[in-house]
Amino acid sequence: MSQYQVVNPATGEVVEEYPTATDAQITDALERSHQAYASWRETPIEERTKVLARVAEIYNERSEELAKIIQLEMGKAVPEGQGEIALVGLIYNYFADNAKAFIEEEKLKGPKNAEAYILRRPVGSLLGIMPWNFPYYQVARFAAPNLALGNTIILKHAPQCPKSAAVMEQIFQDAGLPADAYINVYATNEQVSDVILPDPRNQGVSLTGSERAGSAVAAAAGKNLKKVVLELGGSDPYILLDSPDLDATVKTFFGTRMGNTGQACNSPKRMIVMDDMYDEFVEKLTAVAKEATPEDPSAEGSKLSPLSSLAAKERFMEQVQATIADGATIHAGEGDYDTPGAFVKPVVLTDVKPGKRGYHEELFGPAFMVFKASSEEEAIELANDTPFGLGSAVFSADVDKAAKVGSQIDAGMVFINSPEQSREFLPFGGVKRSGVGRELGPLAMDEFCNKQLFYKQQ
């Protein structure tokens, strides 16, 4: 049985299976990608970016169809999937419009009889390993800048997203990309570590996924001296210093955490609230959480889709139950829905203590952990007491005060009076165990790039 399957998370039904690649097919993909690089790197950037602009058009033209594919694969409500696809279009257009400026030569100061400058050149065939939670978006933020730069790509998607993976490869070809400049492979983890990364035709790997997967890929890449970009987990803090409208703030926090049914690495998993608002915040958040009910993810306006799989549901519920067993208080989310599929209730937890389950873990589902802080200093300490460092946000009517607090958070991204955003122009990435490297924005094209010194003396 192939590990690449479309399994409807709303019912548990196996819909489609795709054959896993053989070692010979992986080796063939490496050679084809390497050969395609020789010509793609020499293709004028105006032609490369023209392809990206057409890719954006196709995603926008096929939005509903594409959203229905991932709704079936990983449970995302169709309207939310269309939102993901709209962002994908923005990403491809962003690099279509800006890539040429991003790789302009950078002149250096030097002696009068010489010229020194930095050229940004591609490096070769790259491997992308992508997760299931944002099937199109995760690929776009890796593929768009690297194809614009002139690199070629072999893409291993999550085993539960084989259909969207195949569709993305076809979209590139429909847009005019040479067939072997982007190759989808249904590879195993062993083929990644034992076949692709040791091969000299591969020049680097970008992975978005779990700490465990990131550690394994980084070890294999390091052994073979390959560059890595890793976007791993997060346990992002949202600090609430004060609020002129607590009802609105609660809805903002709840809605942001519930995006993708809580399955986003950069959603607010730890809500740190000042003690004068804490009890009221927990009460209002609990009331909102209890209003959620399971809905057909294909329905318009669906607000509570299933988790991505029955296995994801089991992992999430085990984490929550273990956190409660370790002393946490549960305010909402008791029990389970009497429905088939991977639906879970939004869970509100307080009294999660250091050293106990949940405190230093990433709860990948609709779980809200709320912490009380009696001072800004305590709030900052709580925010930084985590092995992760992806994103964060601080809210206050006093913008300067919020910015001062935000500047002391150890994270790759800090938002003031705004939920975290994934936008095409904002560099995305973290520190500590949340990974290394940046995607999106003007930094994205510098990751798998030969910043070549060019020195000319008269």
Catalytic residues: 231, 265
The answer to whether the CB of 321 falls within 8 A of the CB of 367 is no
**DSSP symbols for 394-452:** EE-S-HHHHHHHHTTS-SS--EESS-----TTS-B--SGGGEE--BSGGGGGGTT-EEE
The answer to whether the CB of 399 falls within 8 A of the CB of 416 is yes
**DSSP symbols for 248-311:** HHHHHHHHHHTGGGG--TTSEEEEEEEHHHHHHHHHHHHHHHHT-----TTSTT---PPPS-HH
Q: Which residue has the tokens 């400058």?
A: 117
β-strands 393-395, 236-240 pairing: parallel
Distance CA 128, CA 112 (A): 44
Q: How far is CA 20 from CA 98, 154, 168, 199, 345, in A?
A: 37, 15, 18, 20, 35
Distance CA 163, CA 177 (A): 20
Q: Which two tokens stand for residue 212?
A: 């465990």
